[in-house]
Each structure stands twice: as structure tokens, then as C-alpha cells.
Structure 1
Amino acid sequence: MHELPLVIFTVLSQLAVGGIVTLWWMDWKNTIQWKTGLLISLSLVVIGGVAVLVSMFHLGHPFAAYRAILNIKVSWLSREVTFYGAFVGLSLLYTWFWFKDVSTWRGISGAIAAILGGIAIFSSAKIYMIPVIPAWNGMTTMMMFFLTSILLGPLFVGLFLLIRGELSMKITTFVLFGFIAAAIVMLLYFSGLQGGLPQAGESLRLMTGQFIFWLRLFTFVIAFAILAINSIGKQKQTGITYSVVFLLLLISEFLARFQFYETAVHL
């Protein structure tokens, strides 16, 4: 459970980045109302802020976390801290421009926040892509981190839009493709572990030997099935349906990230 702060931080911060990118894109396309955009932006700033605060509990000296930025030239950890901090700051500014309803500056600040968020996720993934832990040292780690953002962010925004009666089917379709991409990456990850170094195979054995692995797969499949059936059948999306899908996927991502840390085997 020592890695729990990192689990919470990575999942929530990636959700926030995906949400900001989705909101910015919808605002750019002029497909979202002002009040709804403001509420979503506020919510994502809170989520991003909570993620950063929780991450500090992983440090031996949380109040000295600011020192992490001092090695930005050589350390991916320093870059992660710097860019996530900048992302939260720009997200706050983005929310301010939503509040003031200044569309031009809102678009600029949102675009910068989205870029910073993407760099932050990239930096976060690079921390773990190290040869000493074979289960982490591959592009699937990068893909999984970005897919968490791609799945949870739009789904979170979609839930808000649905509650306010503004949901676009484009978000549902995008999330469904995200599910398919995540399933493919999952298979690539498992096959890579199986055919990799002995330590990678041991990580896979530890992973599949835990109940939460199967619970993770179950929640992922059920979330996809519910969304796909409702979409293909062209049934009216409801707040309950979207809420269940979001909750199941959030649980799935938390369990997957927990196992990512807990089943890592060193060389």
C-alpha cells in the first residue's frame, strides 16, 4: 500500500489532463454552453489539485517537494513535477477565463494547459521505463498512461454533459474507440511480459494470481459492454448508465495502476 499515493496521483492527474483536452476541444468547436464548461473546468482543477497534493504523501518530506524541480535538466521526475504543477496552474487560469467568459484567452490558456498536460504524462511514463524493471521498460507503459487520460477524461466530461442534457454522441464514439485501443494495448502488454525476461514473466504470474486482476478485467469489459450496447442500440443515454460506466472504468484503472506498482519485479 506504500504506492497508493502514486496510484491516486497518476490516475487522477491523467483524468484531469484528458478532461481539460476534451473541454478545450469542445469549446473550440463551440459545442458546449458557458455554464457547463465552467462547472467542468472547476471540477477538473479540483481533481488535478487533489492529485498533486496526494502525490506529496509519497515523499519522505512532503513540504520539500518544490526542490524536485531543481533537476529538470536531467531528471524525468523533476520534469513530471514541473509540468504537472504548470498544468494545474494553467488549468486554474483556464477556469478563470471561463468564469470571465473571455473566449480568446480561454482558448489560448486551454491549449497551453493541454500541451503541458501531455508533456507531464509523457514525463511520468518515462520515469518508469527503466531496464531494471522489465515489466515497465516498454512503450506499453507510455500507451497505458495516455490511454487512462483518453478514456477517463472524455467520459468524465460526457457524464457532466449528459446530466445537463448536452451530451454529444461523438464523445461516446470516441470513448468506445478508446476502449478498443486499451484492450489491444493490454494484450500487447501481457504478451510482452510472457515473452520477455524471466522477471517480466514473474510480474505477469504475480499479476494474474491476484483477485484484483480478474476484477479489473471484469469491470473493464462490463463498462465497455454497457456503453457499446447503448450506443449500437441507439438507446437514449441516461445519467445512471454513464455514471455506472465511468465508475466501473475508474475502478478498473485504479486496480490496473495498483498492480502496475505492486507486481513490478526488479532484475
Structure 2
Amino acid sequence: MHDLPLVIFTVLSQLAIGGFVTLWWFDRKNKTITRSTGLIISCSLVVLGGIAVLVSLFHLGQPFAAYRAILNIRVSWLSREVTFYGAFVGLSLLYAWFWLKDIPARRSLIGGIATIIGAIAIFSSAKIYMIPAIPAWNSVTTMFTFFLTSIILGPLFVGLLLAIRGELSMNISGISIFSLITAAMVMILYFSSLQSGLPQAVEAARLTTHHFIFWIRLFTFVIAFAILSLSIKNKAMCNAKIYSFVFVLLFISEFLARFQFYETANHL
């Protein structure tokens, strides 16, 4: 349970980044999101980002000395994560301000910059864990997993809020199904690589699949996929209630997967 703050931080931060990119992209492409809705969604993403930052401090031995982490940005992926994620939160706050002031041009520019910074922040987070000392983490699948959490949860969160506001004009189900299929392929690749790896990697796979948490995660994932697949054919299912239920299922799935990511890691 010592790693719970990291679980919460990584999932919420990746959700916030994925949601931000989705809102920015929808705003650029559709131009149909009203000022009030854009402000509500952007502010909710800022809140999620702020919560992620606050929770992450509980993992530190000296939370009030967290600012020192940026001092090693030239050599430390942790410093880069702190720096780029902090910059992303600041830019997302500025983005929300331009929604409040209704300045589309500046909103688009800041959103584009924040999108790049957010992607670098997720990349930096993943690189922290891709170390030879922990075979189960030292794989490109770690990078894929971190970005997939963002892609799975972010668009669905924004789609849910747009559906509640009656302004959803794009097929969120299709985007979500694509991300879930990709996640399933990465999951298969991950466990295949563990089974053919070092003894510590094999043990990590055993610890993961022999725990009930894994099967809850798998169950929520499959149910969410099934519901989204049905919603593709039945447009009446593309509503706030369905998206709320699917979002909760996938949030549970991603949270449990990240929890096991930390709990089952074995050092050399």
C-alpha cells in the first residue's frame, strides 16, 4: 500500500492529460463546444491534475522539499516528470482561463503547447520505471501502458461530460474501442514477454494472474468493451448514463492494473 499515492498520481495525471488533449482536439475540429461547457471541462481537468500533484507528495519522505526534484532535470527522469507535469498543469490552468475569456486563438495555441508538454510528461513517467533492476518494468510495454491509460480514460471522460451537457458530436465509442483493442494486444505482449523472461519476470506474471484483483480488472475491462461494442450499433446507447457506467468500469480496470504494476514488481 506504500505505492498507493503513485497509483493515484499516475492514473489521475494520465487521465487529465488524455482528457485535455481530447478537449483541445474537439475544440479545434468541431467548434461546437460552448464556452460554458468548455470552461467546465477544462476546470475539471485542472482539478484532477491538482489532486494528482497533491497525492504524489504523500509518497515523498519530505513533501515540502518536492521543489528540489527539478534541480536534476539534466540527468533524472523523475526531475523531468516533475518539471513537465508541473508545466502541463500550469498551461492547463491558462487554457481554462482562455475558455473563461473566450479567446479561441490563444486557447488553441496554449492547448497545442500543453499537449506536447503532457506527452513528454507521460514519456518521462514511463522512463522512470524502465530500469534493468526490475525486469517486469524494463520493457516498451510500460511506455505503451502509461500512454494507453491516458487514451482510454481521457476521451471517455470528456465524452461523458459533453454527453451530460448535450454537446457530444463525435463517436466516443469508436475511439474507446480502438484504445481497448490496442490495450488488449499490449496486455498479451506484456505477459508473453514476462513468461519468456528472467525468473523475476516470470514470478511477476504469476503473482499478477494468481490474484483476484487481476480477474476483477479483466472482468471490468471485458464488460466495458462489450457495452461500447453494442453502443456502436445502437446509437441510443451513446448517452451520459452508458458512458458514466463504462468510465467507472474502465477507471477501476486501469486503477487495479496500475496497483498490480507496483505491487508485483520483483527486483533482481
Task: Give TM-score scaled by structure 1 length.
Answer: 0.98
After TM superposition, give the deviation of residue 170 of structure 1 in Å.
2.8
After TM superposition, give the deviation of residue 51 of structure 1 in Å.
0.2
The AA in structure 2 aligned to 1:192 is S
After TM superposition, give the deviation of residue 33 of structure 1 in Å.
2.0
Q: Does 1:41 align with 2:42?
A: yes
Q: Which residue of 2 aligns with 1:89?
A: 90
- Rounded to whole Å, the distance in 2 between the matches of 1:12 and 1:145 is 11
Greater CA drift, 186-195 or 3-12: 186-195
Q: Does 1:6 align with 2:2?
A: no
Q: Which residue of 2 aligns with 1:101?
A: 102
After TM superposition, give the deviation of residue 26 of structure 1 in Å.
0.8
Q: Which residue of 1 aligns with 2:19?
A: 19
After TM superposition, give the deviation of residue 236 of structure 1 in Å.
3.6
Q: Which residue of 2 aligns with 1:163?
A: 164
Q: Which residue of 2 aligns with 1:193?
A: 194
After TM superposition, give the deviation of residue 233 of structure 1 in Å.
3.1
Q: Does 1:129 align with 2:139?
A: no
Aligned partner of residue 171 in structure 2, secondary structure: helix
Checking the alignment, whether the CA contact within 8 Å between 2:204 and 2:265 is kept in structure 1 is yes
Q: Percent identity?
A: 72
Checking the alignment, whether the CA contact within 8 Å between 1:203 and 1:263 is kept in structure 2 is yes
Which 5+ residue runs of structure 1 have no aligned equivalent? Answer: none
After TM superposition, give the deviation of residue 240 of structure 1 in Å.
1.5
The AA in structure 1 aligned to 2:26 is M
Alignment of 1:207-218 (within 5 A): 207-218=208-219
Checking the alignment, whether the CA contact within 8 Å between 2:173 and 2:231 is kept in structure 1 is no
- Rounded to whole Å, the distance in 2 between the matches of 1:168 and 1:56 is 38
Task: Give TM-score scaled by structure 2 length.
Answer: 0.98
Q: What RMSD over aligned residues (CA atoms) do the two structures have, in Å?
A: 0.9
Q: Which residue of 2 aligns with 1:252?
A: 253
- Rounded to whole Å, the distance in 2 between the matches of 1:34 and 1:101 is 7
- How many residue pairs match? The answer is 267
- Rounded to whole Å, the distance in 2 between the matches of 1:31 and 1:215 is 38
Greater CA drift, 63-72 or 173-182: 173-182
After TM superposition, give the deviation of residue 163 of structure 1 in Å.
0.6
Aligned partner of residue 94 in structure 2, secondary structure: helix
- Rounded to whole Å, the distance in 2 between the matches of 1:36 and 1:211 is 40
Checking the alignment, whether the CA contact within 8 Å between 1:129 and 1:136 is kept in structure 2 is yes
- Rounded to whole Å, the distance in 1 between the matches of 2:233 and 2:205 is 34
Deviations 1:159-179 (A, max 9, x none): 001111122343221111011
Q: Which residue of 2 aligns with 1:119?
A: 120
After TM superposition, give the deviation of residue 250 of structure 1 in Å.
0.2
After TM superposition, give the deviation of residue 106 of structure 1 in Å.
0.6
After TM superposition, give the deviation of residue 32 of structure 1 in Å.
1.9
Deviations 1:6-30 (A, max 9, x none): 0000000000000010000011112
Greater CA drift, 253-262 or 188-197: 188-197
- Rounded to whole Å, the distance in 2 between the matches of 1:97 and 1:31 is 16
Q: Which residue of 2 aligns with 1:142?
A: 143
Q: Which residue of 2 aligns with 1:175?
A: 176
After TM superposition, give the deviation of residue 227 of structure 1 in Å.
1.1
